[in-house]
Amino acid sequence: MNDIVLKAEGLYKVFGRGADDAVKKLRNGASRDELGGATAAVIDASFEVKKGEIFVVMGLSGSGKSTLIRMLNGLHPQTAGTVEVGGDSITGVSPAKLREIRRHRISMVFQHFALLPHRTVIDNVAYGLEIQGIDKAERLKRAAKVTEIVGLGGWEEKYPSELSGGMQQRVGLARALAADTDVLLMDEAFSALDPLIRREMQDQLLELQQELGKTIIFITHDLNEAMYIGDRIAVMRDGRIVQIGSPEDILTNPANDYVEQFVQDVDRSRVLTAESVMRKPRVTVHEGSGPRAALAAMREHEISALYVTKRDRTIVGWVRDRDVLDLVRKGEKSLTPAIQSDHGAVSKDTPLVDIFIPSLEAALALAVTDERDRLVGVVPRVTLLATLGGEPEAATSAEPVIEPLPTDVVDKVLGASSTKGDA
Amino acid sequence: MDIRIRVGDWIENFFDWLEATLGAFFDGLADVLDAIVGAVEWVFHTPPDWAVILVVAILALLARGWKFAIGSAVGLLFIVSVNQWDNTVESLALVIVAALLAVVLAVPLGIWAARNNVVSAFVKPLMDFLQTLPAFVYLVPALALFGIGIAPGVIATLIFAMAPGVRLTELGIRGVDKEVVEAGEAFGATPRRILRQIQIPLAMPSIMAGINQIIMLALSMVVIAGLVGAGGLGQDVSQAIASLNVGLGFEAGLSVVVLAILLDRFTASFGKGMGLYAAWSKRRRAKREDDEQARIDAAQETVGGRRATGVGATA
């Protein structure tokens, strides 16, 4: 499934006099400060949004992201470039056609909710349907359903001023959902909410998106929010899109210093998954191979335990060198009696924050499996620490833990010095 | 060297020309205005004064509550007792007609100015001009065009009183939260619909303040209009000035004050949720909401019960 729902190409927005000239200058490589009186808010923005995707545009205030999103539904006419929604161009069309597209294709959720204060919740939710010309009984029925979905059942006849901020934004969301458009524009939709409510709304948005399969374009200045809800993120700076990529892409391969600086403060443990930090397991054995082979492998790699898999690499468990040694001494031909099944493997899309404890509980580097339980990698504890520190490569140069001296040696020395003292 | 600019002559020539070419029109307009003001006056004048006072007191009770009801009854009784009832009714009729016409002109003009920057650029200085030109100056051309009587009073009053109505309407509509207007656009509403469903309702407090100002300015102008034979309280005031009659001046002046307070409080109370009427409509609204909610709840139950409960906890 690779349907492009929304496509923006070479979008420019310049405010002030001589806008067209300014675009020409920018195309010829002029910088934003060389435009004289004109102010370039968006410069050469191109991107495609796929059906059912959450596309996040992230940037600080003044980066042009709010202007950009308003060009996607024509609230701000573009200075140059094109926007297509569902195959129809919204640039250079008549106002009537533009209204038609806004009614049926693309709806919007606003930062400060933008509810009609003189209308009840249900009438606000039904607003888009009312403009679409749907008769009253039908639109109230549909609005009631959506109000229920966003969790505002029982509040239908209240006025916006009687609701908390989070609930008001649910109304804003319900209004956009009720219009039943394919594309949802969300302009800093959760930025005005306090952190706890924001988290709740993010979770709800993800849930709704799973359920309804809407295509969402979400604007935010909060990188953590972008990383949490975005399938793909476009990072904006000074009117330009500097990088488009998945959250992990942006975190691990920042396109330039700006993005790198930006992602420094991100809570990596919530964005990165086991898959992105795991290493190839150094060595494993098949359950069919005997204790001797297992012991030889451990000796060769100087390790004291390893994972046991089936032929198709499905994880079975792990073995310890002492247990295998016992088997070899007893002359056992099968490895099975030594296998311990509490391998504690995690799936590869587990966020790092959830693998700390499993990693502590595992006897060797934590096993990572795919959706069919096959061993695809391991996460040593050093790697985990190095990743959180922002430099995964550091893991390779990690100093080994210094082993304490054997107790009997220390005892001997201590014993000797104490007798000397007594003498 | 004589550099005197003959502005006065030009304006005089203009009005002479106006009268010569459109004289019949102004005469007709004067007759219509006379008739309208006469009709309004008749409404207040036909019933006995105590009946009018009773009706006003009841309206006051509905609009603001019992204190205002008692206050207005006492005020009007005072007017009757100083023998200014007839004059007050005449002035009131003139104010009502002039203010109504001013509102009918000012509000649409303000809306137009709010939606069109070119119009706004013309209207703003024009309103400055109308508001600062000394009120007496209006009377001169009005007299020239309409002759002595009620009509020049109405016209001068409505021009003088219009300005704040235009300004506050424009200000109110421009001041409507930009995001809410954008919301209307984003869902594909037509500009007319946005005006009707979003801008005007949200600008209502400001528009109402403008209407209140129109009425107050109209009242102050009506007194001045007494000078040109518009009758009413203004006539007694100007008579008192001419004959240095302190007593008469104060009786008429205090009646103006009573009328001003009444008009101001009445118009200021619209939409503020005060008085008996507001209490009734609030109760009716609450009941209607409850019924509606019960109906929606019932409909949802049959669909398959509530999905999320305890949302209130997020409040």
Mapped to the 3 state alphabet, what secondary structure does A317-369 carry? EEEEHHHHHHHHHHCCCCCHHHCECCCCCEECCCEHHHCHHHHHHCCCCEEEE
Question: Which residues in chain A have their CB less than 8 angstroms from residue B197's CB?
Answer: 116
Identify residue A252 by its one-letter amino acid code: T
Task: Kindly report, residue by residue over B90-138, the tens digit of the pLDDT.
Answer: 999 999 999 999 999 999 999 999 999 999 999 999 998 888 888 788 7
Contact A139/A130 with Cβ under 8 angstroms? yes
Contact between A99 and B188 using a beta-carbon 8 Å cutoff: yes
Q: Which of A216, A176, A273, A172 is nearest to A72 (CA)?
A: A216
> What is the structure's pLDDT at A298?
87
Contact between B180 and A156 using a beta-carbon 8 Å cutoff: no
> What is the structure's pLDDT at A384?
85
Identify residue A148 by its one-letter amino acid code: E
CA distance B277 to B68: 14
CA distance B163 to A243: 54
Q: What are the structure tokens assigned to A405, written together?
A: 């001296």
Question: Which residues in chain B have their CB less than 8 angstroms from residue A144's CB?
Answer: 296, 299-300
Q: How far is CA A26 from the centre of its chain?
A: 33
Question: Which residues in chain B have their CB less than 8 angstroms from residue A166's CB?
Answer: 314-315
- Give the bridge partners for A346, in sequence order: A368
> What is the structure's pLDDT at B307?
46
3-state secondary structure A195-217: HHHHHHHHHHHHHHHHHHCCEEE
The Cα of A70 is separated from the nearest Cα of chain B by a number of Å equal to 9
Contact between B185 and A115 using a beta-carbon 8 Å cutoff: no
Contact between B182 and A99 using a beta-carbon 8 Å cutoff: no
> What is the structure's pLDDT at A96?
93
Contact between B188 and A127 using a beta-carbon 8 Å cutoff: no
Residue range B294-299: average pLDDT?
A: 77
Handedness of CA B72, B73, B74, B78 (dihedral sign): positive
Phi, psi of A263 (to 5 degrees): -80, -5
Kindly calculate the radius of gyration of chain B based on its CA atoms and give it in whole angstroms.
25
Please calculate the CA angle B120-B125-B130 and round it to the nearest 5 degrees.
Answer: 120
Contact between A100 and B188 using a beta-carbon 8 Å cutoff: yes
Mean pLDDT of chain B: 86
Question: Which residues in chain B have their CB less than 8 angstroms from residue A153's CB?
Answer: 297, 300, 306-309, 311
Least confident span in A56-60, B263-267, B274-278, B284-288: B274-278
Question: Which residues in chain B have their CB less than 8 angstroms from residue A107's CB?
Answer: 186-187
> What is the structure's pLDDT at B12?
86
Q: How confident is the model at residue B228 (pLDDT cuts 50, 70, 90)?
A: confident
Contact between A144 and B300 using a beta-carbon 8 Å cutoff: yes
Question: Which residues in chain B have their CB less than 8 angstroms from residue A156's CB?
Answer: 292-293, 296
A71, A85, A99: best mutation site toward chain B, by most B Cβ within 10 Å?
A99
Between A and B, how many CB-CB pairs are < 8 A? Answer: 106
> What is the structure's pLDDT at A420?
58
B176, B177, B309, B314: best mutation site toward chain A, by most A Cβ within 10 Å?
B314
Q: Which of A383, A384, A51, A63 is nearest to A223 (CA)?
A: A63
Residue range B76-84: average pLDDT?
A: 92
The Cα of A146 is separated from the nearest Cα of chain B by a number of Å equal to 11
Q: How many CB atoms lie within 10 A of CB A398?
A: 13
Contact between B193 and A118 using a beta-carbon 8 Å cutoff: no
Helix axis angle, A165-178 to A195-212, nearest 10°: 20
Low-confidence ranges of chain A (pLDDT < 70): 1-2, 400, 418-423
The Cα of B189 is separated from the nearest Cα of chain A by a number of Å equal to 6
The Cα of B179 is separated from the nearest Cα of chain A by a number of Å equal to 5
Question: Which residues in chain B have their CB less than 8 angstroms from residue A197's CB?
Answer: 314
Nearest chain A residue (CA) to B179 = A114
Contact between A200 and B314 using a beta-carbon 8 Å cutoff: yes
| B314 vs A332, residue with greater confidence | A332
- Give the bridge partners for A49, in sequence order: A6
Please report the ipTM that was assigned to this predicted complex: 0.75
Q: How confident is the model at residue B271 (pLDDT cuts 50, 70, 90)?
A: low
A96 burial (CB, 10 Å; 0-12 / 13-18 / 19+) is exposed
Q: Which of A160, A177, A86 is nearest to A126 (CA)?
A: A177
Q: How far is CA B67 from the centre of its chain?
A: 24
The Cα of B102 is separated from the nearest Cα of chain A by a number of Å equal to 27
Half-sphere exposure of A342 (CA within 13 A, CB side): 6
Please count the residues of chain B: 315
Residue range B201-224: average pLDDT?
A: 90
> What is the structure's pLDDT at A234?
94
Token pair 């021009």: residue? B159
Chain B contact residues (CB < 8 Å to A): 177, 179-180, 182-183, 185-190, 193, 197-198, 201-202, 289-290, 292-293, 296-297, 299-300, 303, 306-309, 311-312, 314-315
Q: What percent of chain B has pLDDT over 70?
A: 94
Task: Kindly report, residue by residue over B153-196, the tens digit of the pLDDT.
Answer: 888 888 889 999 999 999 999 999 999 999 999 999 999 999 99
> What is the structure's pLDDT at A423?
46
CA distance A31 to A34: 6
Handedness of CA A34, A38, A44, A48 (dihedral sign): positive
Contact between A157 and B183 using a beta-carbon 8 Å cutoff: no
Q: What are the structure tokens assigned to A51, written together?
A: 């059906």
CA distance A270 to A205: 18
Closest Cβ–Cβ partner in B177, B183, B315 for A167: B315
